């Protein structure tokens, strides 16, 4: 190789895939720039209550990795940033990164949170999936263990920025870190390889018109927040409409997945397990309650997964009903679910208090721009196409650009972490191969 | 606007109230529904067997009648007729081999290539008349009348021929709202009325009708509006069986949406033929000051 190679990696997306890949590359001795769109790394995983099949909490198992990222001498976390443009080729990419205005000088901010305490304005919290419980302030950090532990101002809700009133945060800040006049700025970096880990989002419930738009018909991530002991309800199970404890709860699997006629033909792969998990956690919190799960098949194809499912059925008495749900609507206090039990051939009507839809996983819409900038090939649903389905599972069609996590296809945490490690090892062998060749020459 | 109109058997007998009110109300909006000469049975129930071509002949022959009127459209009122005619035409268009075979059976007719579009009056109101025009024609707004629209299945399913979103239709709501009514959104508006079970299994129909009617009542409805004579029979006449089987059920009137149009347009209530209703709607309409 005749040209110089920039032995520094860029990772786009600070979820569990990006975090794992960053740590692996950094531990291998190379510099990593980890770009995250939101104010903190952590991704969807840190929103979850407890994770299957071991029921450990992501706050316990992921936040240490997040902190390691934050403290690693080889990792430069660029949070609240987006990719603006990428030029060049493997070994020599020039990347423009947009630093979105945080209105807080992060060099001065100590993360004390006094501003957030005193801020008078509330806004829906993205981290809490905009549930009625648990709004955030206009100056905020998305959650307690955020990395970096810095605050940002939401310019759409801040009274100072919208109406030139208030200004409390600037008054209380002990380090004078508030900068109401801050603007976006562009930084240019050079890297040798890129890992795209832009993750997933859930398909919107409104796309399933046979299911009512109702505060008590929620998606999986919303229920994760309600179940989460450190979540907006402090782990007390409440339904959004009136805060009552739901005594009958219905889970609908394959909501949008495995539906080639109207939505997506693919399986989202995590819903069987997380519905079982959520039903289990629900039963642990509400022992008198009854959980029903409507399913097409129960797919438990990972290590310890089948045993986990059996535990849910036998110990937690989750009622599994094989059939699709045709309709969900409110009737007074109740959410009525019309379904079918195809094993007995009978129609089933459940009068539930809360319904959780296991919505299909789709590629994170926020990652669309990155895919376009990098010119990445995707399948018809927007998942990034690997260069060979079996033998090159982390390479994209472009040299030096790799993919990890749910940006490539729906997958669970163990697989995501494994794939992130795979992508990191590709970057490591690219960089170390170059250095060895250089040393030999 | 003149448009050939296919009545079908029920609109000439039990659902004369639907036909008379529809023709009169449409006229107010400038639509002349001209009854098709020499129409025959619509086929009643769309045949689902793919090689059963003989069942497609009756509906296709009706479309040829429309073509003879030099029209590329045919309007229906009855949901069942709409469904059967429209689907027969889709079937005819979809498969060339079958189309040719059907044409051989129809060699006594003028040539037909599937070019007559079947529309239901609600579609015509939405797409060509507009809700604003309906609003303008209103003389007696149905203010305070709590109406729950009921679609049943034939207007909406299968999705390929449905006049609106198959799960969340709104066209009848829009029309009723334009008439000034208080529209009740009822989740049972697309549930099954029991259909032809009414012939042999009244219990099944009574159960269906009970769910639909009590849901509408629970949501505050005073009257149901619909567009299908079979639904009308099951929801109106079968209230007798509902009352026998379910304690505490209070009967309620069921009307065709066109009857409500006629009232709102200030037409003589005699076009509504209220005497054909099983549950008399007159006291309710009187109490709202809509008729005298």
pLDDT at B47 exceeding the cut of 90:
no
Backbone phi, then psi, for B199, in 5-degree steps? -75, -45
Q: In chain A, which residues have their Cβ closer than 8 Å to the Cβ of B168?
A: 209-210
> Is there a common fold for A8-100+184-199+364-440 and A203-361?
yes
Residue B100 CA: distances (Å) to CA of A303, B55, B73:
58, 15, 22
Contact assignment for A336 to B187 by CB distance below 8 Å: yes
Q: Is A179 on the interface with B (CB under 8 A)?
A: no
Query: A205, A212, A262, A329: best mutation site toward chain B, by most B Cβ within 10 Å?
Result: A329
Q: How confident is the model at residue A95 (pLDDT cuts 50, 70, 90)?
A: very high
**In this predicted model, what pLDDT tens digit does every residue of A377-425 receive, in sequence order?**
999 999 999 999 999 999 999 999 999 999 999 999 999 999 999 999 9
Q: Domain limits of chain B?
A: 2-121, 140-287
Give the gap in angstroms from C-alpha A209 to the nearest C-alpha of chain B. Answer: 6
Among the partner-chain residues B167, B168, B218, the one whose CB lies closest to the CB of A331 is: B218
**Class of CATH domain B2-121:** mainly alpha
Average pLDDT along chain A = 96
Residue reference for tokens 């579009």: B117
Q: Is A2 on the interface with B (CB under 8 A)?
A: no
pLDDT at A1 exceeding the cut of 50:
no
Q: Is B207 on the interface with A (CB under 8 A)?
A: no
Q: In chain A, which residues have their Cβ closer than 8 Å to the Cβ of B167?
A: 209-210, 327
Average pLDDT along chain B = 96
Predicted pLDDT at A135: 95
Q: Is A188 on the interface with B (CB under 8 A)?
A: no
A369's tokens = 């721009």
Predicted pLDDT at B50: 78
β-strand A92-99 against A81-89: which pairing, if any?
Answer: antiparallel
Contact assignment for B187 to A210 by CB distance below 8 Å: no
Q: Is B220 on the interface with A (CB under 8 A)?
A: no
Nearest CA in chain B to A330: B187
Contact assignment for B215 to A210 by CB distance below 8 Å: no
First and final C-alpha spacing in chain B: 32
**Alpha carbon distance B182, B225 (integer Å):** 12
pLDDT at A177 exceeding the cut of 80:
yes
Q: Is A333 on the interface with B (CB under 8 A)?
A: no
CATH code for the domain defined by B140-287? 3.40.50.11810
B254's tokens = 């069921």
Contact assignment for B167 to A209 by CB distance below 8 Å: yes
Q: How confident is the model at residue A60 (pLDDT cuts 50, 70, 90)?
A: very high
Query: What is the mean predicted confidence (pLDDT) over A199-208?
Result: 97
Q: Are B162 and B197 in contact (CB under 8 A)?
A: no
Q: Is B218 on the interface with A (CB under 8 A)?
A: yes
Q: In chain A, which residues have their Cβ closer than 8 Å to the Cβ of B187?
A: 212, 327, 329-331, 336
Residues 411-440 of A with CB under 8 A from B: none
β-strand A31-36 against A75-79: which pairing, if any?
Answer: parallel
Rg, Å, chain B Cα set: 19
Among the partner-chain residues B168, B215, B218, the one whose CB lies closest to the CB of A209 is: B168
Query: What is the mean predicted confidence (pLDDT) over A290-305?
Result: 96
Q: Is B187 on the interface with A (CB under 8 A)?
A: yes
Q: Is A329 on the interface with B (CB under 8 A)?
A: yes
Count residue pairs from A and B with Cβ separation < 8 A.
15
Q: In chain A, which residues have their Cβ closer than 8 Å to the Cβ of B218?
A: 331-332
A213's tokens = 């738009």
A236's tokens = 């007390």
Rg, Å, chain A Cα set: 23
**Alpha carbon distance B251, A160 (integer Å):** 60
pLDDT at B45 exceeding the cut of 90:
no
Among the partner-chain residues A209, A331, A332, the one whose CB lies closest to the CB of B165 is: A209
Residue B26 CA: distances (Å) to CA of A366, B5, B23, B77, B258:
50, 12, 5, 11, 8
Q: In chain A, which residues have their Cβ closer than 8 Å to the Cβ of B184?
A: none
**In this predicted model, what pLDDT tens digit does every residue of B227-272 receive, in sequence order?**
999 999 999 999 999 999 999 999 999 999 999 999 999 999 999 9
Q: In chain B, which residues have their Cβ closer than 8 Å to the Cβ of A355?
A: none
DSSP secondary structure string for all residues of chain B = -EEEEE--TGGGTTTHHHHHHHHHHHHHTT-EEEEPTT-----SS----TT-THHHHHHHHHHHHHHHTT-SEEEE-SHHHHHHHHHHHHHHHH-HHHHHHHHHHTTTSPP--S-PEEEEHHHHIIIII-HHHHHHH-SS--TT-EEEE--TTTTT-STTT-SS-SSS--HHHHHHHHTT-EE---GGGGS---TTHHHH-HHHHHHHHHHHHHHHHHTT-SEEEES-HHHHIIIIITHHHHHHHSTT-----EEEHHHHHHHHTT--GGGG-GGG-SS--HHHHHHTTS--
pTM over 0.90: yes
CATH code for the domain defined by A203-361? 3.50.50.60
Contact assignment for B187 to A329 by CB distance below 8 Å: yes
Contact assignment for B187 to A331 by CB distance below 8 Å: yes
pLDDT at B225 exceeding the cut of 70:
yes
Predicted pLDDT at A409: 98
Q: Is A212 on the interface with B (CB under 8 A)?
A: yes
Residues 50-109 of A with CB under 8 A from B: none
Q: Are A190 and A92 in contact (CB under 8 A)?
A: yes
Among the CATH numbers 3.20.20.100, 3.50.50.60, 3.40.47.10, 3.90.550.10, which is that of A8-100+184-199+364-440? Answer: 3.50.50.60
Q: Give A395's strand partners.
A: A402
Closest CA to A83 of A366, A415, A392: A366
Contact assignment for A331 to B168 by CB distance below 8 Å: no
Nearest CA in chain B to A208: B167
β-strand A327-331 against A334-341: which pairing, if any?
Answer: antiparallel
Q: Is A187 on the interface with B (CB under 8 A)?
A: no
Give the gap in angstroms from C-alpha B167 to the nearest C-alpha of chain A. Answer: 5
Q: Give A186's strand partners.
A: A98
Burial of A73 (0-12, 13-18, 19+ CB in 10 A): exposed
Q: Is A347 on the interface with B (CB under 8 A)?
A: no
Predicted pLDDT at A2: 55
């Amino acid at each position: 190789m005749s040209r110089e190679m920039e032995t520094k990696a860029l990772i786009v997306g600070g979820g569990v895939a990006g975090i794992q890949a960053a740590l692996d590359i950094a531990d291998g001795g190379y510099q990593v720039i980890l770009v995250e769109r939101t104010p903190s790394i952590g991704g969807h995983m840190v929103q979850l209550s407890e994770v299957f099949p071991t029921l450990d909490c992501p706050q316990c198992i992921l936040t240490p990795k997040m902190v390691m990222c934050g403290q690693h001498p080889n990792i430069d976390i660029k949070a609240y940033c987006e990719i603006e443009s990428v030029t060049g080729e493997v070994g020599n990419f020039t990347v423009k990164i947009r630093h979105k205005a945080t209105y807080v000088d992060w060099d001065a901010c100590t993360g004390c949170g006094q501003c957030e305490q005193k801020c008078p304005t509330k806004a829906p919290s993205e981290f809490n999936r905009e549930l009625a419980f648990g709004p955030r302030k206009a100056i905020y950090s998305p959650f307690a263990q955020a990395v970096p532990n810095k605050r940002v101002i939401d310019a759409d809700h801040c009274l100072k920025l919208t109406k030139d009133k208030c200004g409390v945060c600037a008054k209380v800040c002990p380090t004078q870190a508030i900068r109401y006049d801050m603007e976006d700025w562009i930084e240019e970096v050079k890297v040798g390889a890129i890992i795209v880990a832009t993750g997933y989002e859930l398909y919107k419930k409104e796309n399933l018109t046979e299911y009512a738009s109702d505060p008590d018909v929620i998606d999986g991530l919303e229920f994760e927040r309600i179940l989460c002991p450190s979540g907006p309800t402090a782990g007390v199970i409440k339904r959004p409409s009136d805060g009552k404890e739901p005594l009958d709860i219905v889970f609908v699997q394959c909501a949008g997945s495995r539906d080639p006629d109207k939505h997506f033909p693919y399986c989202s792969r995590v819903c069987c397990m997380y519905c079982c998990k959520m039903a289990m956690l629900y039963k642990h919190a509400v022992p008198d309650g009854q959980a029903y799960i409507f399913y097409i098949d129960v797919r438990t194809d990972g290590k310890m997964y089948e045993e986990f499912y059996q535990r849910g059925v036998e110990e937690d008495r989750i009622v599994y009903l094989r059939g699709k749900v045709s309709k969900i609507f409110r009737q007074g206090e109740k959410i009525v679910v019309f379904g079918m039990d195809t094993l007995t051939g009978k129609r089933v009507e459940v009068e539930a208090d809360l319904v959780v839809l296991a919505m299909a996983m789709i590629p994170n819409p926020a990652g669309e721009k990155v895919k376009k900038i990098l010119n990445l090939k995707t399948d018809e649903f927007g998942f990034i196409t690997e260069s060979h389905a079996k033998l090159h599972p982390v390479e994209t069609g472009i040299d030096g650009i790799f993919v990890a996590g749910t940006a490539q296809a729906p997958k669970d945490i163990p697989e995501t972490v494994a794939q992130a490690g795979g992508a990191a090892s590709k970057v490591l062998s690219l960089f170390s191969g170059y250095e060895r060749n250089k040393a030999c020459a | 606007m003149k448009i050939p109109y296919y009545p079908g058997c029920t609109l000439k007998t039990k659902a004369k109230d639907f036909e008379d009110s529809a023709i009169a109300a449409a006229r107010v909006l400038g639509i002349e529904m001209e009854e098709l000469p020499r129409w025959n049975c619509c086929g009643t129930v769309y045949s689902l067997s793919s090689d059963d071509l003989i069942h497609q002949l009756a509906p296709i022959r009706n479309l040829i009648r429309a073509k003879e009127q030099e029209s590329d459209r045919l309007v229906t009122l009855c949901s069942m007729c709409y469904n059967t005619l429209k689907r027969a035409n889709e079937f005819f268009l979809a498969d060339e081999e079958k189309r040719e075979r059907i044409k051989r059976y129809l060699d006594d007719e003028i040539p037909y290539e599937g070019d007559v579009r079947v529309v239901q009056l609600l579609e015509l109101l939405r797409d060509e008349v507009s809700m604003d025009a309906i609003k303008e024609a209103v003389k007696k707004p149905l203010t305070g009348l709590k109406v729950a629209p009921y679609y049943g299945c034939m207007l909406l399913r299968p999705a390929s021929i449905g006049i609106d979103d198959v799960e969340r239709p709104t066209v009848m709501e829009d029309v009723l709202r334009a008439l000034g009514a208080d529209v009740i959104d009822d989740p049972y508006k697309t549930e099954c009325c029991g259909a032809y079970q009414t012939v042999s299994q009244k219990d099944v129909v009574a159960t269906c009708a009970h769910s639909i009617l009590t849901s509408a009542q629970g949501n505050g409805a005073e009257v149901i509006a619909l567009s299908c004579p079979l639904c009308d029979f099951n929801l109106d006449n079968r209230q007798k069986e509902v009352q026998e089987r379910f304690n505490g059920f209070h009967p309620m009137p069921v009307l065709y949406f066109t009857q409500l149009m006629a009232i709102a347009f200030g037409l003589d209530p005699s076009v509504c033929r209220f005497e054909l209703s099983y549950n008399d709607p007159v006291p309710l309409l009187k109490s709202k000051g809509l008729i005298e």
